[in-house]
Amino acid sequence: MIKVDLTGKNAVVTGATRGIGFGVAKALAMSGAKVACIGTNEEKLKESVAEICAGGGEAKAFVCNVADSAAVSEVASAILAEYGRVDIVVNNAGITRDMLMRRITDEMWDDVINVNLRGTFLVTRAFVESMRKGKWGRIINISSISGLIGNAGQANYSASKAGVIGFTRTVSKELGNRNITVNAICPGFVDTDMTRVLNPVLIQGIKDRIPVGRIGSPEDIANAVLFFASPDSSYVTGQVLTVDGGLIM
């Protein structure tokens, strides 16, 4: 983990129950930030928060479906009441409903767009006024290489992640004059619960195409988040960082 001092900063991480989100929340907490962890599975979310706290970090669990506008407003009010302000937001919550485009149902399309893209918008909107008042903020949106190059069987997911990139670049232009940076990270193939269910032959085939010779880890993505969250990244905004071991180079 890269060394960043976030002492005194308050962070929000969505989809913090497992995988990339948990890795990011843990890294922020270990760097000194107080972390509000948002997820939908209350039991698993509490387990993740307990693990962070056992390691010496400070984190609290907040159950919320980020696609639900009223729920996001409610949880944002609770977090701001708890912490007073929010300095860092990491929009990580995401789902997949993979299927060839011609077989994607309306529900499969809406589910993915609502969580991955609408959720990013709702959470950002909920906390941006706190950052504007403090004249400091870091918004980091987790997109995907699928949002850059597309992926067969993921028309809904790829569209949602491409939308996150467009959202990131637009909002960076709106908030730059308030000392708020907005950047996106596009992970490649990362070892998470979502990818472990794939056929081992498929996983090996992807690994063989990665120049650095390994599958990514949540810590690889967390390191990129730490840079964007740090005070040292103040002149970097509207950027899209691919973290994929050279897969789409």
pLDDT for 1: 81
Please name the residues in contact with 179: beta carbons below 8 A apart, sequence gap of 6 or more: 135, 136, 137, 234
pLDDT at position 205, please? 85
| C-alpha count within 13 angstroms, C-beta hemisphere, residue 241 | 20
Contact predicate 29/54, CB 8 Å: no
- Cβ partners under 8 Å of residue 165, min gap 6: 143, 147, 148, 184, 186, 240
Task: Give how many domains the chain has, as a whole number.
Answer: 1
On whether residue 18 sits in a domain, the answer given is: yes
Among 62, 93, 86, 100, residue whose Cα is nearest residue 6? 86
Closest alpha carbon to 225 in 190, 249, 198: 190
Output the pLDDT for position 212: 96
pLDDT of residue 15: 98
Nearest to 31 by CA among 95, 88, 96: 88
Q: Please give the residue range of the domain that contains residue 143.
A: 10-190+218-243
Going residue by residue through the chain (249 aa), what tens digit of pLDDT does each one get? Answer: 889 999 999 999 999 999 999 999 999 999 999 999 999 999 999 999 999 999 999 999 999 999 999 999 999 999 999 999 999 999 999 999 999 999 999 999 999 999 999 999 999 999 999 999 999 999 999 999 999 999 999 999 999 999 999 999 999 999 999 999 999 999 999 988 777 777 788 888 888 999 999 999 999 999 999 999 999 999 999 999 999 999 987
pLDDT at 195: 76
**Domain assignment present for 3:** no
- CATH number reported for the structural domain that contains residue 138 in this entry: 3.40.50.720
**In residues, how long is the chain?**
249
Closest CA to 34 of 69, 64, 66, 62: 62
- The verdict on residue 52 lying in a domain is yes
Residues 6 or more apart in contact with residue 238 via CB below 8 angstroms: 168, 169, 172, 173, 176, 182, 183
Residues with active-site annotation: 157
Cβ–Cβ under 8 Å, residues 216 and 242: no
Residue 32 lies in a domain: yes
The verdict on residue 201 lying in a domain is no
The predicted structure's pLDDT at residue 209 = 92
Q: What tokens were used for 111? A: 């589910």
Residue 181 covered by a domain? yes
Identify the pLDDT of residue 22: 98
Q: Within a domain: residue 21?
A: yes
Residue 38 within any structural domain of the chain:
yes
